[in-house]
Structure 1
């Protein structure tokens, strides 16, 4: 299992990025959450099999149709908490 924190930067708030991320993560069977950050970026915590998490990371470069992604930063996360679903959380 792989667990990562993904920070997506660019025009990613107010463009349904979180909703599309939710749909893509659920399609892939990846669990975790997506949330807006105060700096205008979006953060995703994703956990699941390494190939599926990698597919979600790749998707982040596309995002929602109205998004304009400038950067995707990925950091491995070592926390023990297990998520059973993928959800949108409030920032």
Structure 2
């Protein structure tokens, strides 16, 4: 299976609703590595790597988020995998 890297920007009510912690839990469960962080404009950014199938599933989760979140927009950019991440963490 091919590995890939995604840069994901999530907009909506995504800060203060446990989005980062939930994303970390979901990524680890799916075998996805990388990080999640809050942006100053209220969005959340995720940079992640893994098998394309796992990334697709994780992206599906990101479109919904945790129960208290309200995702209004998800922008993604596919990049070549670098292998720099060994686990998923909150930055």
1:8 to 7, 10, 14: 10
Within-5 A mapping of 1:3-82: 3-78=5-80, 80=82, 82=84
Gapped regions of structure 1 (runs ≥ 5): none
TM-score by length of 2: 0.93
Distance 2:79 2:42 in 1: 22
> Which segment drifts farther, 18-27 or 73-82?
73-82
Secondary structure of 1:61's counterpart equals helix
Runs of 4+ in 1 over 6 A off after TM superposition: none
User: How many pairs does the alignment contain?
Assistant: 89
Secondary structure of 2:49's counterpart equals strand
Q: What RMSD, in angstroms, separates the aligned Cα atoms of the two structures?
A: 1.1
Per the TM alignment, residue 79 of structure 1 is displaced from its structure 2 partner at its CA by 6.4
> Which segment drifts farther, 50-59 or 75-84?
75-84
TM-score by length of 1: 0.93
Secondary structure of 2:73's counterpart equals strand
Deviations 1:13-60 (A, max 9, x none): 000000000000000000000000011000001100000001110101
